[in-house]
Structure 1
């Protein structure tokens, strides 16, 4: 790989498209182990400069517009609450415009390098309301002047917060410049929550699940001590929620893939050590398990508790340095979706909150008003518990499953290139399909390799193996069709992608179909939900753009995890619990344990009849869990 040239698999470019689908996937997956995505080295340079400029201009903006922050005494800013708040607002502004995470080639934005504001400032682009049937005035999938106007108000409120001078509240340390005016913070929180009901894409892009709770504490509480303790509780629960979500095998797959894509890992032997037996078995190795669960999960579960409760300064600094190492490692891997600014900000705020306002100095959880503490704990834990037990109801971001290898996701199969081209012709957006963005840069053959490598990447995760297993059973011949990673389609259709399959489920597919008018079989997706905690059962759906959801069922996570990514033994076993009347799959017969049970509860719970108790039914997860027990 050169500084400006990509790393390609050793294959005749003219012959690549003729290779059978599963041989292509194996070729690309083995190449991933050795070279990752294969992007030129200058990609890493781009993101390094991006981090530097984010930090530099964040400090410049905060200092230039804040009374009490003087450039001749930058070291004195370290313990100023207004700096913490303004850097948070600066980060949100970059996120919600598309200049932070999901920017550039590692987020599949090639030309232009961002989506975000280019879409959300424009009428008639697609929007995805989270609960259109339950929340009044949110139906529809077309961005209206009301939506673009609300988005512009949000940007204006963030810019206003960056330039406002601080105010004083009770409990501020002596000599402190103050905090942001509470009324202005409330305006932003109200606007972004309103936007969340109209369009979940913009809401999630702002990382509201991370920042809004803390901002609300600084705008609703009257005492600074309570504000800081609440901020500490929220950030601790963010880390621990993420750590809890990683207590499953899928996280090891994520770490293995991340390390293989890391630009500074130049040792071929180490890359291959992340898998069991290259090239025969590329499931995560014991080395990867240790790196993932000792270096990652354990750190996120234990060190936050030390930060929150340790009475000794030395223990607090050990925990701070451990968290610094965790976030620095994540940054250094340049993970896909590249949430680099978020990690840099957390490196700053862990030291700001826990070194400046130590538990032993009156900022311990027991120093907070008890009623407020209980309220904060419930508010912080509820979405995480809901996301763990009922992941179908909330985004994986709200459920704190970042990089856990356990997300909702989808892979699409399109009948031919004309079907894909219709996206460019029929949908209002600011970017062409990825293949059309890449072709002027690399030519059609190389571009197709990179696009298909994303499908191979998804199959290296357990849920991707189910996607292709489902497609094998529902389309006549994968070799003759075009497979596309769902993230790519979310990226092109909505301007944003961050691993949340809920952004590209039936709601987005219906909006896409409304504009492109496909025939049955033209576009088929297999969608998998996040795996709930304490069960081995994962739910899936098969969606035909023209027909809607045509099949529902479940599979066992271990069946997907234990097979090779290129599915040498055929589709993984899965159980069909419901199928649309009159619909018949066109692919290979379902695996041995698959069975069709055409029963579904009124609330959408997927059912499997069982004997006893008057022939009543139980959920698929309950039935399967009982069978396993």
Structure 2
């Protein structure tokens, strides 16, 4: 791999795209084991530059300058200043809301332009996805001028809170009498809290992009709690994120996440290490024992045990060891450049671990028992645990982000399929500030065949995860023309039509398909989607839907997760067993490729 030259799959471009789908999937999955996407080094280098310049240098310089501490290169002078901590959280939210943090750039399927976010959300007429139909004043799926005003107000309110200086705080002075930088004025939290909620009720995409499940509670703490309570509540929040993510890794899915993630890491040059995460990288791509160890010792165990140690330890050496372990944990995730590229989020968590647990140790009056009221402690824990518990029991009701399943591999997912030429219709989408990814690549100079193979690498990546084998099984069992169809990873497709996706299938379920159909009008069979919900923590199955854009949901059913994880990505034994629970009474139009549903 060179700086500008990647490791493109070694395929014959003249014949490869004419081969059956699962032959193509196998070839691309086997190539992935050693090279991942095979992106040239300039791609991760671009992210590193963005992270260092925009987030670390510009962000830190702005925060320290407006807080009266610093200069920013003198880390010892500001790392433990509470106002810097608050503003760094708000700066991260601002970048997420604008769309230049997570889900940015080519790794997330944004080639030209590389930013989604503000290009979509500040533009009337684009698609919005309301979370609950029952909420009054949220009808429709089109972004209005009101939505744009609310969104830009949110951006402005966050920037205002970042740039205004801190104000004196009696609760801070009582603990740190020598502190002169103060805290972010509590009243500055009112506007971003209210506007984030209003934006979220109108469009769940913006709320999820802002990582509202984590940063909204933090802003509430900044605006309402005295200093000691704020610090302890922040500790409870970060530990809930870690522990929730650890619990979500129970089960069969997470082990399948590790091998393709490690294979895609530009920071692991050894092909031997990458191959070692598979049982046999030349033909058996199920996870090896090493992958299982990495998943459930380096992942699950670390994310559950270490936060508990940090939450209750009063021993400095033990706390230091825990902080170092969590910093290394997040740096490792950063080094793999996962497809949602949440790099700023991971770097922020490195800083938060140091600031909260070393800057304000439990033994110095910042432990759980030091909160002003046990009732307040219980209330905060209950509120923080509500959505993770509900989301694991009823994943259909809660996004995987509030459920704290960031890297669990247990995701709502989908594959989009188009008859020849039908995908091009998406480019007719009104007010859309971009085009289909395959067209973006061609606009950058990629030959059509190279652009197509590049996009097919994304579905090979999906096939290497447990839900991918189930999705391909449904499509293979129900579409008699699958080999001739264009198959797309829905997370990437979703990114190109609403400006954001973080791996959450709830952003491209039947609601989005209906919005696309209303604007474009696909014929029956032209645009067929297989969509699957996350596995509930107490269940052994995943429930899928087969959606024809023109007809709506035409089939529902489920597959056993054990069957999915036992199979190879290219389904050499055919589709895994499927259980149909419902089929639409109408029959599909003849020749549309969808197996005719029966009553």
Which 4+ stretches in 1 moved above 4 angstroms?
Answer: 68-74, 584-590
Given the alignment of the two structures, is residue 564 of structure 1 paired with residue 568 of structure 2, yes or no? yes
Q: Is the 8 A contact 1:525 1:543 kept in 2?
A: yes
Residue deviations 1:101-149, cap 9 Å, x none? 1111111110111111111111101111111x21111111111000011
**Structure 1 residues 278 and 164: CA distance shift in structure 2, 3 A:** same
How far apart, CA to CA, are the structure 2 residues paired with 1:537 and 1:565? 18
SS of the equivalent of 1:442 reads coil
TM-score normalised to structure 1 length: 0.92
Q: Which residue of 1 aligns with 2:237?
A: 234
Q: Does 1:370 align with 2:374?
A: yes
Q: Which residue of 1 aligns with 2:452?
A: 448
Whole-Å separation in 1 of the counterparts to 2:570 and 2:466: 11
- 2:24 paired residue number: 24
1:179 aligns with 2:183: yes
Q: Which of 307, 326, 334 is the equivalent residue of 1:323?
A: 326
Q: CA deviation at 1:78?
A: 2.0
Retained in 1: the 8 A contact 2:525–2:593?
A: no
- Correspondences of 1:221-620 after superposition (within 5 Å): 221=225, 223-368=226-371, 369-417=373-421, 419-440=422-443, 441-583=445-587
**Counterpart-to-counterpart distance in 2, 1:22 and 1:105:** 25
Paired with 2:249 and 2:357, the residues of 1 have a C-alpha distance of 24
Q: Secondary structure at the match of 1:549?
A: strand
- Matched residues in 2 for 1:429 and 1:13: separation? 31
Other structure's SS at 1:392 match: coil
Contact 1:472 1:588 in 2 (8 A): no
Q: Equivalents in 1 of 2:325, 2:21: separation in Å?
A: 43
Q: Which residue of 1 aligns with 2:88?
A: 87
1:604 aligned partner: none
Classify 1:357/1:499 alpha carbon distance in 2 versus 1 (closer, same or farther; 3 Å): same
1:584 positional shift? 5.6
Determine the structure 2 residue equivalent to 1:627: none
Q: TM-score, normalised by structure 2?
A: 0.96
1:359 and 1:135 map into 2 onto residues whose CA distance is: 42
Could you tell me whether the CA contact under 8 Å between 2:69 and 2:77 is conserved in 1? Answer: no
Q: Residue 540 of structure 1: SS of its match in structure 2?
A: strand
Query: Which ranges of structure 1 fall in alignment gaps of 5 or more residues?
Result: 599-629
Q: Distance in 1 between matches of 2:543 and 2:92?
A: 35
Task: Provide the residue aligned with 1:618 in structure 2.
Answer: none
Change (3 A) 1:403 1:73: closer
**Partner-residue secondary structure (3-state), 1:123:** coil
Two-structure CA RMSD over aligned residues (Å): 1.6
Deviations 1:392-423 (A, max 9, x none): 01110110001110000110111122x11111
> Deviation string for 1:297-324 (max 9, x for gaps)?
1110001011110010110000000001
TM-superposition CA deviations, 1:474-528 (whole Å, max 9, x none): 2221111111110121111101111000000111111100011011111111111
Q: 1: distance between equivalents of 2:227 and 2:214?
A: 20
Return closer, same or farther for 1:381/1:72 CA change in 2, 3 Å cut-off. closer
Q: 2:368 & 2:202 partners in 1: Cα distance? A: 36
Q: Where does residue 622 of structure 1 map in the other structure?
A: none
Give the C-alpha shift of residue 17 in structure 1: 1.0
| Equivalent position of 1:105 in the other structure | 106
For the residue of structure 1 that corresponds to 2:129, the secondary structure is coil
Taking the TM superposition and a 5 Å limit, the aligned residue runs for 1:201-212 are 201-212=205-216
Instruction: State the structure with bigger RCO (CA 8 A, min sep 6), 1 or 2.
Output: 2
CA drift at 1:76: 2.1
